[in-house]
Structures are given as C-alpha cells and as structure tokens.
Structure 1
C-alpha cells in the first residue's frame, strides 16, 4: 500500500499519531521540509510520537520517512487533475469533459497500480504461470471479462487458460486441480467465501495460486501462494462503474503476459511467424481472401 494511502486510512494509529498524519496530509508540500522537532511542535505532539508514526508507516526512522514524504509531495505536485474513481464525471459535463476525466482516471489508476507492484511478486506470479500445465482462472462479472482478454493473449504463446467459474463449474474445477496446475483469482473486494474455501484446499494440496485484489486486509491474501495487492479509492457498491479496478486488473494481467513472453522472446517470435504463415498462406488460409 502506498504511504499516502496509509496516512489516509490511519489503521492502528493512536489519536496523537492520527493528528500528525492529518497535519502531513493537509500540508503535503511543506511537511517534508520539517525536521522531527518542528513536526512535533506544529502538531502539539512529541519527538517520540513522530518517530512511532514513521515506524508504523514502515520506515526505520524519521529520515527515511521524510524522504518518502518528499517523493509523495513531488508526485502530487505533478499529478493529473483528481478524478473521483466512483463518480468520475458529472451530469452536466460535455462529451469531451467526460472523455478527459476518464482519460485522467485511467492514467492515474495505472500509475498508482505500478507504484504498488514489486519485482518479486511479478516474477513469482509469472514463474507459477509459466510452470503450470493448466491455468484455471476464477472470476465473475466484470473481472471475468478481463480474464477472457488474458485467455486470448495466452493462446498466442501456446498456453491455455480455463475460465473456472464458467457454467457454474467452479467447484468441479477446483476439485480437479493438482500441484502441476495454477489457479488465479481476480476479486477486488476479496470477500468471496467460496474462494476462501478453494484457497484452503489448494494450500493443503500444494496447488499454486495467484490472487489479484484491491483488499490487502482480506483473509485470501494469506492463503494465496502469490498475492498481488493494489489499493485504490473505489468503493464496493456506491459507484457508476468498476472503472478503476478493471483498469488495474487488465494492466496487471497484461504485465504478467509480457513478462512470460519476454522470458522466451525469440522463440515466441519464431512461433508467431510460423502460425501467421499457416493462417495467412498455409492450409488454414481462406482462398477467397488471398
């Protein structure tokens, strides 16, 4: 989770620490220039309170915390116009104003998601997918549409993904997975009891699993072999559509496909040309087109 989101959520903070966090958020452009004593004085707190907040935010000391605040201040200064992820446009907006806001939301979502990804998580997820004999993807609704896009890309490199929830066969597919396979779960809220039961089964049976979610506090994250968590401002229900979360999911899936492709780049290019020739000029070619 990004530092600015931790400061906003304020999970596990005392009232004193919340006051310091609020001050930082209200004075984001000037707070990074303050030393620990100045920040304590401006928030009517103490040196130790500021240091405790820094540690709770994941930093060894105030110096590293202040450097991270400086990076936030810089990124916020050059950030695109803020767009509400839940209601990104207004009823009186013109068509081009709506287009601009959706553009800003899409770009900001990708940038925020990228900032929360790590080499370790991406490499491990790509390794599990590459190694798997079969890939089963569990997702419903809008997220299943992203799954189908991922499925379409994997076909190009001779990897075949099964939409596990299709036709109500989720439980059957889950029961058939082995440690040679890999399961992917796409769920923004990550509050699906059946997915929790499946992940417990996979954990017991040593079946590799990947979880893409926007909820780092979900029970599912501890059960998955490799969770990939990103935090955004999208609410569960009160919103126009799932714009932000679906952009994030597609971006992550596109990234995973690209990592897998890059590992055997030349081989994949050769196979691409071979398959293209078969379809365009070979036995699969349509003579009416040629």
Structure 2
C-alpha cells in the first residue's frame, strides 16, 4: 500500500487530530517540502508532539522520516503521472465525447500498468496453486464480488466450479476449506485485518489453505501474510475519487489472465467441452422455443 493510501486510511479511521493532519498533508502535499514542522503544526492547530504521533501511526519513527518518505512518493507520482487521472478522469464541463475518450484511455492505461506490474514467477505460482487445488474459493467484497462472479462463470464453462464466499457467510467458507484447497483474496488496500476479506487470512493459514492475494502496490497485511501476490494497478485513492474505474479494470484483467492460463493447460479438451456445452444449451433453447410455439398453436 502506498503511503498516500495509508494516510487516507488514518483519515477514515480516526476522528481526532490525526484526521486533521492527514487531510492537511494530502491537500498540501505539493507545498509540504517548503513547510517547517512548526508551520504544519500551526496550520493544523496541533503540536510537534502530535505530528510525531501521526508519523508513528503511519509507520515512521518521527516526522522527519515521514516527510522524507512522503515527498519521495510525491516526486514519484509527479514523474509517473499517467495521461488520465485515475481518480478524476473527467471534469464537470467535459463533453460526452471527452468523457468517453477519457474512460477508454483510463481503462487502457490500467491494463498496461497491471501488465507492467505482473510478476511472471508469481503468475506461475498462482497457476500451480489453482491446478493442484480440490476447491477454489474467492474472498472479496463489492465491487470486486461482481468481477469474481464473471470469473466464476468463465471457469464454469470449462467444467470448473468455484465458490464466491458471501460476505455474511465468508467465515463459514473459510472454516470449510482445507490444505487441499485454494483461496483467492481480492482487496485494494489489503491492510485492515478486522475487515473482510483480510479478516479470514488467519483462519485460512491455520487450516493450511493455499492463498493467492490480489492487492495494490506497496506494503500491506496481505503481502505480509500471503506468499503468492498479483498486484493490481494502484493509482487510485481509497475514497477521493469518482469511481473504481482503474482498479476494476485491473482486477478484471488479472482474473481473465488466471482463467486464460487455466484454460490453456488443457486447451483442446476445454475447447471441446465448451463447444459441446454450447450445443447442448442451444438444443435446449430450441426445444423450449418449439414447445412454446406448439402450445401457442394448440390454443388457436
């Protein structure tokens, strides 16, 4: 998880001086390099000691160490800024054509960014875990649960039934898995161990379940506790944005890659299975339509 995102988590979790400092730091990030500790404390109506406590909250020993790391990230973001802002890809007065072009470009950039982040060793490890699993269960929350459903359906077309752990029943799903199974955990922040799906990692580890984590770039709880990690595009803020355009496209791409690699393992067999299944489905549809037609004629 990027430092920007850790600060956003602090802003969301706390309702004290840490929120005020976090909001100020994010808003004034381009000016912080020119501000002294006294100036920041005065601007946030806090003290130097409070600034130090804030720095420790996000994992640093003191304010100076925090500012150095934060400004490094600001510089990196400025240098690597994509053509489209992932958080606010369009403006209020943009035409519909500009909006459409911006979303198209953002989705393209997200896939490209995800591909650049894709570690082939990790992908090979992920596929090995999936191939050797008796059961595959996906743990995630909205909006990723909808993408997981698309992945589930694609896997079903080649005869592989996977489960999407329902949020209110995910604890039961985690308890039902064994060391012969695999869990896919999808979380952008990957950092709050008391919330789903991260809250199930301890149970999954205890039961020896193989795990694949799909999460953002940087350190977080998932990365510290899951050996196989696939990284999603991480240019979005946690909450300061219009929507999850970039991360949704990134996760969708990664799940498509997992499905495609799984498919190609038994390529011809899966092609044959899909063709046979499609013919069976179409035959059933044709029969149903004929039955409806005959019933209609019988009533005439």
Do the structures match in fold with TM over 0.5? yes
The answer for the alignment partner of 1:4 in structure 2 is none
The answer for the alignment partner of 1:187 in structure 2 is 187
TM-score by length of 2: 0.68
Instruction: Give the superposition deviation at 1:112.
Output: 0.7
The answer for the alignment partner of 2:178 in structure 1 is 178
For residue 137 of structure 1, give the secondary structure of its aligned residue in structure 2. strand
Q: Distance in 2 between the 1:253 and 1:219 partners? A: 21
Deviations 1:186-235 (A, max 9, x none): 11111332444421222232210111011431111121131112342200
The answer for the alignment partner of 2:101 in structure 1 is 100
TM-score by length of 1: 0.70
Instruction: Give the superposition deviation at 1:289.
Output: 4.1
The answer for the alignment partner of 1:136 in structure 2 is 137
Give matches, 1:67-146, under 5 Å. Answer: 82-146=83-147
User: 1:234–1:25: structure 2 CA closer, same or farther, 3 Å change rule?
Assistant: closer
User: 1:113–1:289: structure 2 CA closer, same or farther, 3 Å change rule?
Assistant: same
User: 1:25–1:207: structure 2 CA closer, same or farther, 3 Å change rule?
Assistant: closer
Instruction: Give the superposition deviation at 1:106.
Output: 0.6
C-alpha contact (below 8 Å) 1:216/1:230 kept by paired residues = no
User: 1:23–1:174: structure 2 CA closer, same or farther, 3 Å change rule?
Assistant: closer
Q: Distance in 1 between the 2:128 and 2:201 partners? A: 19
User: 1:104–1:288: structure 2 CA closer, same or farther, 3 Å change rule?
Assistant: same
The answer for the alignment partner of 2:266 in structure 1 is 264
Q: Distance in 1 between the 2:274 and 2:285 partners? A: 15
The answer for the alignment partner of 1:69 in structure 2 is none
User: 1:254–1:20: structure 2 CA closer, same or farther, 3 Å change rule?
Assistant: closer
Unaligned runs of 5+ in 2: 2-58, 291-300
Q: Distance in 1 between the 2:171 and 2:123 partners? A: 27
For residue 275 of structure 1, give the secondary structure of its aligned residue in structure 2. helix
Q: Distance in 2 between the 1:263 and 1:271 partners? A: 14
Give matches, 1:1-290, under 5 Å. Answer: 82-166=83-167, 168-192=168-192, 193-194=194-195, 195-281=197-283, 284-289=284-289
Instruction: Give the superposition deviation at 1:265.
Output: 0.5
Instruction: Give the superposition deviation at 1:236.
Output: 0.5
Instruction: Give the superposition deviation at 1:122.
Output: 1.1
Poorly superposed stretches of 4+, deviation over 3 Å: 11-26, 194-197
More displaced, 107-116 or 207-216?
A: 207-216
Instruction: Give the superposition deviation at 1:127.
Output: 1.9
How many equivalent pairs are there? 229
Q: Distance in 2 between the 1:227 and 1:24 partners? A: 23
Instruction: Give the superposition deviation at 1:126.
Output: 1.7
For residue 211 of structure 1, give the secondary structure of its aligned residue in structure 2. strand
More displaced, 131-140 or 83-92?
A: 131-140
User: 1:255–1:24: structure 2 CA closer, same or farther, 3 Å change rule?
Assistant: closer
Instruction: Give the superposition deviation at 1:159.
Output: 1.1
The answer for the alignment partner of 2:5 in structure 1 is none
Instruction: Give the superposition deviation at 1:254.
Output: 0.4
User: 1:25–1:250: structure 2 CA closer, same or farther, 3 Å change rule?
Assistant: closer
Instruction: Give the superposition deviation at 1:130.
Output: 2.2
Instruction: Give the superposition deviation at 1:92.
Output: 0.3
